[in-house]
Amino acid sequence: MMKFLKSVKQEMKLVQWPTAKENRHDTMTVILTSLFFAVFLGACDWLFELLVTMLVSH
């Protein structure tokens, strides 16, 4: 088990971690993409509901 933990520690030293600027950029990308799809899917849902309501009421 100790051999495994030592190898993990060595590997973690080789990882190139993102900078704070890269983290902010990636976080904003995720937030904006999520908001876009939330609005898009909400609009699709609203249009589908409107269409079904129109078809059922006639």
pLDDT 10s digits, 4-54: 999 999 999 999 999 999 999 999 999 999 999 999 999 999 999 999 999
Q: Which two tokens stand for residue 15?
A: 């990882």
Q: List the chain domain ranges.
A: 18-57
Q: How far is CA 55 from the centre of its chain?
A: 35
Q: How confident is the model at residue 58 (pLDDT cuts 50, 70, 90)?
A: confident
CA distance 10 to 43: 49
| The dihedral sign for the CA sequence 24, 16, 34, 37 | positive
